[in-house]
């Protein structure tokens, strides 16, 4: 992100400044944050930003960060989601040690705090159903100048029940005496408040739904806006850092903290992550999974942490990306090419190099002996000399990319065509002498060449100028594998920008995945562990997929080698 982009987005270190001020003024003696996911899906790169902010801000002040599961919606929650979230947070490089908590552990305490509000005359049991509550609350409407305002709502007819009656009804709600949805517990605040969330929000609802941790012990469940600030308070959270959409919830957060007379946690909001060509809403990601538009939560096209890990992204690169975009006060769109730039920078330093051919055509070296096999030296990673080198077999018949030969070359084409010379990576300088075609399809099925034995390693001793260098794989020892070429899941930069009556699903790209069933790699790729990302020279970075078997490897394209972002940044600077 350039300095001008930072300025436009409201980028600053305002959270750390606010925390430092709180410590200096004695508001808090230490810093204690939390990452509070709801276990109803797998976390994505947007959650990764929240994780980064929560853990890194705490670390900046020598503080602590909890991992707390806000599990108060039993219809959608599952222990498998808890385990997936824990795995992904740990993979990102963060450890919560012994500070793992669950809102469901606080149900009894939350129940008693609700009773406290009832006794103070600040909560009541309501018999209005969900639709009636919405109707009584009112809504935002435009005036004659098309400026939105909120007319006052109207009080529920049950709002003035006595404290004794409310305590009795609430206890009977807990005991399961009433049908689901027949009663709620609401905070008594102000039905004329300009913020609709402050108009007597629901605190508890009746739901006979087994909870993945508490079973059937409870049939009433606290709502998020009631549970969240009080769970923060129970844990002694000093700074409740959350995304910008919760700014409108802050008055309610503070109301519950103040009137329940609990630890005074402070809510501070920051801009959420918006990424081009990407949807970052759990609701829409669930839809993609359920409708089979992707293979699952860990599909490498998904922006989930599991999907990015399977695609070959590294946690170091993701943290680098999150550090570069910083913490802003206003929402903005981040170009996904910045993330890809961070991935390339990280992998360039540590990924081992191999040669592979995705769309092979045979290259026959006519003046090479039929049974001769030579081992050539290849560098494992030029960025890390300590990574050493490996041996690559070279034989009479090798595979090259079909695009590296043209019968009639276009302008400025420096690869193989009749009469032209190229270097074979780590090998020899060769001269194209001819080619063979399939008589039926007209497709080139073999290219013929002669090698210069004095050019081993690719260097011509007579200093001739050879402009082109191509990669190759010996046909005699080639390892076949499946290559999955992943691209953006959505075609447009802003997938959610759709006309009324249309769905974001219409923006799914037809080119997000191309499967190459039989690519070829050098023998060393057989030893690449599942989950490791390597560079296939001149092609891109690829990660060995868990679908791989002993006899059939699968490699996912992580990202190509071309770095458009780096060129843009260089131009801007």
Q: Which positions are annotated as active-site residues?
A: 38, 272, 282
DSSP symbols for 443-469: -EEEEEEEE-GGGTTS--TT-----EE
226 vs 202: CA distance, rounded Å? 8
Q: How many residues does the chain have?
A: 573
**Phi, psi of 495, rounded to the nearest 5 degrees:** -60, -25
Helix (H) / strand (E) containing 202 = strand 202-206
Task: Please give the torsion angle defined by the CA atoms of residues 231, 232, 234 and 239, in that order, rounded to the nearest 10 degrees.
Answer: 180
510 vs 272: CA distance, rounded Å? 28
Residue 308: closest CA among 521, 541, 552: 541
Query: Burial of 257 by CB count in 10 Å (0-12 exposed, 13-18 middle, 19+ buried)?
Result: buried
277 vs 510: CA distance, rounded Å? 13
Tokens for 47? 């959650």
Assess contact for 407 and 417: CB atoms under 8 A.
Answer: yes
Residue 163 Rama label (left phi>0; alpha psi -120 to 50; beta): alpha
| Residue position matching structure tokens 């004659």 | 144
What angle, rounded to 10 degrees, do the helices at 107-119 and 224-235 form? 110
Strand segments, DSSP code E, in 405-539 are 421-424, 429-437, 444-451, 468-470, 473-474, 479-486, 513-521, 533-536
Contacts of residue 28, defined as CB under 8 A and 6 or more positions apart, other chains included, come to: 22, 238, 239
Tokens for 403? 């695009």
Between CA 366 and CA 376, with CA 371 as vertex, the angle to 5 degrees is 85
Q: How far is CA 120 from CA 16, 162, 357, 520, 530, in A?
A: 36, 11, 74, 74, 60
What angle, rounded to 10 degrees, do the helices at 250-259 and 224-235 form? 60
Other Cβ atoms less than 10 A from the Cβ of 367: the count is 12
45 vs 304: CA distance, rounded Å? 6
Contacts of residue 51, defined as CB under 8 A and 6 or more positions apart, other chains included, come to: 35, 43, 89, 92, 94
Q: How far is CA 490 from CA 46, 220, 274, in A?
A: 17, 40, 14
């Amino acid at each position: 992100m350039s300095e001008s982009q930072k300025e436009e987005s409201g980028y600053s270190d305002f959270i750390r400044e606010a925390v430092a001020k709180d410590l200096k003024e004695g508001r808090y003696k230490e810093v204690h944050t939390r990452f509070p996911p709801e276990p109803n899906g797998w976390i994505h790169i947007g959650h990764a930003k929240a994780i980064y902010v929560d853990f890194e801000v705490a670390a900046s002040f020598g503080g602590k960060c909890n991992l707390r599961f806000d599990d108060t919606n039993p219809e959608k929650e599952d222990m498998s989601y808890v385990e997936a979230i824990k795995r992904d947070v740990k993979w990102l490089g963060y450890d919560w040690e012994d500070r793992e908590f669950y809102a469901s552990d606080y149900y009894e305490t939350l129940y008693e705090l609700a009773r406290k509000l009832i006794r103070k005359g600040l909560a009541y049991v309501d018999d209005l159903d969900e639709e009636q509550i919405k109707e009584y609350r009112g809504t935002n409407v435009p005036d004659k100048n098309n400026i939105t305002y909120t007319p006052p709502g109207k009080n529920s007819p049950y709002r003035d029940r006595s404290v004794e009656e409310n305590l009795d009804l609430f206890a009977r709600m807990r005991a399961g005496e009433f049908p689901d949805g027949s009663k709620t517990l609401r905070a008594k605040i102000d039905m004329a408040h300009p913020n609709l969330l402050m108009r007597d929000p629901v605190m508890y609802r009746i739901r006979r739904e087994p909870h993945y941790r508490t079973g059937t012990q409870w049939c009433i469940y606290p709502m998020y806006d009631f549970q969240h600030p009080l769970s923060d308070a129970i844990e002694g959270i000093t700074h409740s850092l959350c995304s910008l959409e919760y700014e409108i919830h802050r008055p309610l957060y503070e109301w519950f903290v103040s009137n329940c007379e609990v630890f005074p946690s402070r809510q501070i909001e920051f801009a959420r992550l918006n990424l081009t060509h990407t949807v970052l809403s759990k609701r829409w990601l669930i839809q993609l999974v359920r409708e089979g538009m992707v293979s699952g939560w860990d599909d490498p096209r998904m922006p989930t942490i599991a999907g990015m890990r399977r695609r070959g992204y590294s946690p170091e690169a993701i943290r680098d990306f999150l550090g570069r975009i910083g913490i802003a006060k206003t929402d903005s769109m981040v170009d996904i090419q910045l993330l890809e730039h961070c991935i390339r920078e990280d992998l360039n330093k540590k990924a081992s190099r191999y040669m592979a051919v995705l769309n092979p055509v045979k290259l026959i070296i006519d003046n090479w002996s039929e049974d001769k096999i030579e081992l050539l030296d290849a560098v494992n990673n030029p960025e890390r000399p300590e990574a050493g080198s490996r041996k690559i077999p070279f034989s009479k018949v090798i595979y090259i990319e079909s695009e590296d030969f043209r019968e009639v070359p276009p302008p400025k084409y420096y690869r193989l065509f009749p009469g032209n010379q190229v270097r074979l990576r780590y090998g020899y300088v060769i001269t194209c002498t001819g080619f063979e075609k399939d008589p039926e399809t007209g497709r080139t099925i073999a290219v013929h060449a002669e090698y210069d034995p004095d050019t081993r390693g690719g260097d011509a001793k007579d200093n001739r100028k050879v402009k082109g260098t191509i990669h190759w794989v010996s046909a005699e020892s080639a390892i076949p594998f499946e290559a999955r070429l992943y691209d953006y899941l959505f075609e447009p930069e802003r997938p959610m920008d759709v006309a009324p009556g249309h769905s974001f699903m219409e923006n799914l790209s037809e080119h997000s995945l191309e499967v190459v069933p039989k690519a070829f790699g050098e023998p060393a790729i057989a030893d690449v562990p599942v989950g490791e990302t390597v560079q296939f020279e001149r092609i891109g970075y690829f990660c060995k997929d868990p679908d791989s078997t002993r006899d059939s490897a699968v490699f996912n394209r992580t990202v190509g080698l071309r770095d458009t972002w780096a060129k843009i940044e260089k131009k801007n600077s």
